[in-house]
Structure 1
């Protein structure tokens, strides 16, 4: 296996025989590769394979108990392992790092622009404040931050997740680095924003001649993003190949297994969910629900209204696996807070077993929560680190006054067994658990009250492909045993394809389509749904071409909603009526609904209407 890449340029980075250990256990073993200017090398592997340790070793950010035990890391010919002082001076200047948690990367008390200027002037003190501001705004424009000059003066909380990730790319590139280490920067993002980030990374890679080491947990994303892919397995290089060769002829059994286990979007896999027959009465019924927030924008005296959820209606039936998908900022998380009673709607009803969640008293809401539970995205921040695992599981039973101390302890151990956690962990802290085990614990904590409905808010998005597959198998088994009804709020369309029987698509606070699984993926009724499908990472032949469907930029502001259809400004098929009227959900037959005027028109009529646009 060759570690080199064709070309005459000298490598920016040359890693030879790099090994890292912790407490006598080998984490990385004999890692060797080269990275050249304008090249993107993806590093793929499951959780625990050593991807992030490799990134941090190259960036000189390893901390105890991790130790480099051998090898060299040559940056432009100089071994950084032999000159730690030089490595520290290069960090943030010649070698930049972008992580996958943009929300916590900037100071919330300072504007985004001031932090970018401060970073640039720290590494380039000869640049004036005015020059630094000009460069920062130019780069914010380059990463397609809308109204970059105005956004420069906004705070991090005013940026969406996708905008924050782009701002962090600017933070990394503002010093004109020769090497960019991008560590899982697309994993927490929805598919359209992730596709834009990958496209942007390639453009910036070509424009600034920056070499990119792209750490990734998704094989399709890695293949889309890079010139070559390096597969890590248990801290060792399994193979390095170009994406076409890797897919067509993997050299290692591990890579072949990764490819086989990939969930599919358009094949008839045995995991494709079967349609669930509608029960006479829904478990959860949402009727014309709306929620707005009042904020004060910088420089304005009056309050502005953010319309987070608008006119949302759908039913969830017993045994349903109901999916909710959409871009960052579409209202998914706001809807989740309403469904769980964390917030009350301004208008409309949320009926759980026929009782309105939004108007329930605090005491009654606590009783109702025994029957619906929430499992959150973050496997680290959602668990108390100072409590042993057994106490975390027993606490919901104690809150609701269920059982004696001994009965609660036995119930906790039984639930641990059900989700695949050893009873021996009962007295341990969560720091001993992997990300996948932590999510199993979150599921166990929700299950212990024997709820009727589980709401999963991006529950699997922080996990790699292998861990996701294991937990999806767990969900299927638990549903068969207990008859749970699930709501999956997710940006991962491959997971939704495998798990969900029906799916709602949200855009700018509204539900624009509701359809059974097969209908949505093979015959979507809204252009926005096709755009999401065109952007989903996959190794399969695509049914929808990104160049025909993929969206650029951000949705309109939920403060200043345009007249008519909110999607019209980004829709390739919009015509004159779309700018005047907002379409309501209309019946497409077979339990499918879509809010698009195109469904009311014949093909010939569509062409006539478009001439008036």
Structure 2
């Protein structure tokens, strides 16, 4: 006999009231979720996925209004008053896509979760709550869980915070968990661990999960059945594998068609700035020579003691004109620190970064301003990176005025030209960013960088917050801009599918070091480092995997950059570690055709160490 559904949704509609009254966000949504089932919800940005997720937990606020029914275990909860909802909060959990902003930054993570446990069950003593929370943090693979219990949210990586929030959600053994884009901000290995954890939670706690995602490949990893939402309507519902193999609705077919391929056929790779034969003869536009960055951090339990945190270690590579160069790796690998060094937001503690042969560390005054015109940064968050009360035209005018432009007519003409270049309507010149989609906002960020006619664009997770449709459009824009302006791109990213499509050369970082450097095709089809294979094995894809996750995928977090292990820093997680790995850390070794890897098992004929002047 079939069990009754945990969640039953019928004719759920949500409208936006106020000045734009009559706008329908969700229209007559209906579906069921059974106990221990993981149901996926996919769709583009603006389709209504997050509104649906919040409606299911009675979390909508004005000006949104809902009607229809949302039955949890037979009880309609859609319009329950807060007092009536309070007892149900222990049975219905919600986790959103912003892990770093979900907990109070002034209180330790473990203390907050323990307090929630005691609020849900007052009979639990403080010591028992702490013991249970530590056990659950350990169960979701938070390293050194007993110590991390006392750490603040700012001391957790994004992946660790997302797992901690799952503990926070599961602390009351809920019957329903609504996971709203929980893997979107995470790198591929951590996202794979979170999905695996959610599967375990359905077995351990008998929990039903609604898994909301902008990515169909990610939903495939998690969900047995998937709902497709377009413009607030449920357009298709099928078992996930059937939906991918035989999509019925035109919108679903478009979603499947837009997903980048990795191995089955070669994607349209970007043009390489210079032929490989010329690279050794030309000067790079960016050169890193043994670059390191070490921070001093306070030691817990001491008055003034500090430890050295080695965020970037001896990084060396060249970037040539017209390259689309990617730096990839897990959270905490040093990508963001490297971005700050490349953009001269920080000076390196060791080594040099050269731009057109000039060391950027000592730059100041007009020379630094000139470098900032040459290299521009496009940030990740399309919402918080734009001032909400400044018109779009004024935002784009500001960099020109900072760099000495004074003619108002000339400034306006330049801003309109760059808006046209990036696909923004001139009608938006005096508009505020409020109400614009994530894709439109990110185009404003690109325009803000392009207005100074830079030579290099540094993209710090620029596409990671966008759905696959918007990513598809912006990648086409980047390719057009590169052809028109001869730009050099540096992508800092955890999205390997995007990197496969957009970048011609890729550096892989682990615990502050570059462990592999290769051209696109070589890295994806013949990786030289086991860490690279682990990243590739964790990629969400609709294709048959070239590398098996059960053979390559990693568990847990990297070692602490404060207390680096002897030998190879990767050996504690490496499935192929052997005796030499404990004795000595490997150096980058050439594998031929410009490919490098730092692994003791690289045994290519003629393999030789690579020095700072030979990593281009």
Q: Could you say which TM-score interval applies, normalised by the shorter chain?
A: over 0.9
Where does 1:503-582 land on structure 2 (aligned, <5 Å)?
A: 503-582=506-585
Query: Structure 2: how far apart are the matches of 1:264 and 1:403?
Result: 47
Partner of 2:198: 201
Question: Out of 57, 60, 68, which is 1:59 matched to?
Answer: 57
Where does 1:407-446 land on structure 2 (aligned, <5 Å)?
A: 407-446=410-449
Task: Say if 2:374 is the partner of 1:371.
Answer: yes
Partner of 1:607: none
Aligned CA distance change for structure 1 residues 563 and 270 (closer, same or farther; 3 Å) = closer
Query: Structure 2: how far apart are the matches of 1:229 and 1:105?
Result: 27
Question: Out of 12, 17, 20, which is 1:18 matched to?
Answer: 12
Question: Out of 225, 233, 241, which is 1:236 matched to?
Answer: 233
Query: Do the aligned residues in 2 keep the contact of 1:187 with 1:462 (CA within 8 Å)?
Result: yes
Deviations 1:368-421 (A, max 9, x none): 111000000011111111211111000000001024111111111111111111
Give 1:239 deviation, angstroms: 1.4
Task: Say if 2:25 is the partner of 1:9.
Answer: no
Question: Out of 394, 398, 414, which is 1:395 matched to?
Answer: 398
Deviations 1:38-58 (A, max 9, x none): 111110001111100100111
Query: Structure 2: how far apart are the matches of 1:110 and 1:561?
Result: 28
Query: Do the aligned residues in 1 keep the contact of 2:118 with 2:124 (CA within 8 Å)?
Result: yes
Give 1:592 deviation, angstroms: 0.7
Aligned CA distance change for structure 1 residues 400 and 82 (closer, same or farther; 3 Å) = closer
Query: Do the aligned residues in 2 keep the contact of 1:154 with 1:298 (CA within 8 Å)?
Result: no
Query: Structure 2: how far apart are the matches of 1:210 and 1:52?
Result: 20
Give 1:86 deviation, angstroms: 6.0
Give 1:119 deviation, angstroms: 1.3
Partner of 2:614: none
Give 1:300 deviation, angstroms: 3.5
Query: Structure 2: how far apart are the matches of 1:29 and 1:465?
Result: 23
Deviations 1:139-193 (A, max 9, x none): 1111111111111011111111110110111111111111111000000000000
Question: Out of 150, 153, 161, which is 2:150 matched to?
Answer: 153
Give 1:82 deviation, angstroms: 4.8
Deviations 1:176-219 (A, max 9, x none): 11111100000000000000000001001110001111110110
Query: Do the aligned residues in 2 keep the contact of 1:92 with 1:172 (CA within 8 Å)?
Result: no
Give 1:261 deviation, angstroms: 1.1
Partner of 2:483: 480
Where does 1:177-196 land on structure 2 (aligned, <5 Å)?
A: 177-196=174-193
Give 1:319 deviation, angstroms: 0.4
Give 1:88 deviation, angstroms: 2.9
**Which contiguous aligned blocks of 4+ residues in structure 1 show a shift greater than 6 angstroms?**
none
Name the SS for the 1:26 alignment partner.
strand
Aligned CA distance change for structure 1 residues 173 and 601 (closer, same or farther; 3 Å) = same
Moved more, 114-123 or 369-378: 114-123
Question: Out of 25, 28, 35, which is 2:26 matched to?
Answer: 28
Give 1:298 deviation, angstroms: 2.0
Query: Structure 1: how far apart are the matches of 2:300 and 2:84?
Result: 40
Query: Structure 1: how far apart are the matches of 2:591 and 2:604?
Result: 12
Using the size of structure 1 for normalisation, the TM-score is: 0.95
Give 1:581 deviation, angstroms: 0.9
Moved more, 421-430 or 516-525: 421-430
Query: Do the aligned residues in 2 keep the contact of 1:59 with 1:91 (CA within 8 Å)?
Result: no
Where does 1:13-162 land on structure 2 (aligned, <5 Å)?
A: 13-22=7-16, 23-68=21-66, 70-85=67-82, 88-90=85-87, 92-162=89-159
Aligned CA distance change for structure 1 residues 91 and 78 (closer, same or farther; 3 Å) = closer
Partner of 1:287: 289
Query: Do the aligned residues in 1 keep the contact of 2:58 with 2:79 (CA within 8 Å)?
Result: no
Give 1:87 deviation, angstroms: 5.7
Query: Structure 2: how far apart are the matches of 1:269 and 1:402?
Result: 45
Any unmatched runs of 5+ in structure 1? Answer: 1-6, 603-613
Query: Structure 2: how far apart are the matches of 1:86 and 1:58?
Result: 17
Moved more, 260-269 or 83-92: 83-92
Query: Do the aligned residues in 2 keep the contact of 1:289 with 1:347 (CA within 8 Å)?
Result: yes
Partner of 1:608: none
Any unmatched runs of 5+ in structure 2? Answer: 606-616
Query: Do the aligned residues in 1 keep the contact of 2:270 with 2:479 (CA within 8 Å)?
Result: no
Deviations 1:215-244 (A, max 9, x none): 101101101101211111111111111122
Cα-Cα RMSD: 1.3
Give 1:130 deviation, angstroms: 1.5
Give 1:595 deviation, angstroms: 0.6
Partner of 1:492: 495
Where does 1:161-176 land on structure 2 (aligned, <5 Å)?
A: 161-176=158-173
Query: Structure 2: how far apart are the matches of 1:58 and 1:412?
Result: 43
Give 1:601 deviation, angstroms: 6.8
Question: Out of 579, 591, 598, which is 2:601 matched to?
Answer: 598
Partner of 1:605: none
Query: Structure 1: how far apart are the matches of 2:170 and 2:78?
Result: 24
Query: Structure 2: how far apart are the matches of 1:243 and 1:386?
Result: 42
Moved more, 77-86 or 318-327: 77-86
Name the SS for the 1:110 alignment partner.
coil
Partner of 1:336: 339
Query: Structure 2: how far apart are the matches of 1:260 and 1:103?
Result: 33
Aligned CA distance change for structure 1 residues 200 and 451 (closer, same or farther; 3 Å) = same
Moved more, 416-425 or 114-123: 114-123
Aligned CA distance change for structure 1 residues 115 and 253 (closer, same or farther; 3 Å) = same
Query: Do the aligned residues in 2 keep the contact of 1:416 with 1:422 (CA within 8 Å)?
Result: yes
Query: Structure 2: how far apart are the matches of 1:566 and 1:257?
Result: 43
Name the SS for the 2:204 alignment partner.
helix
Give 1:275 deviation, angstroms: 4.2
Deviations 1:234-274 (A, max 9, x none): 11111111122112211212111111111011133452234
Using the size of structure 2 for normalisation, the TM-score is: 0.95
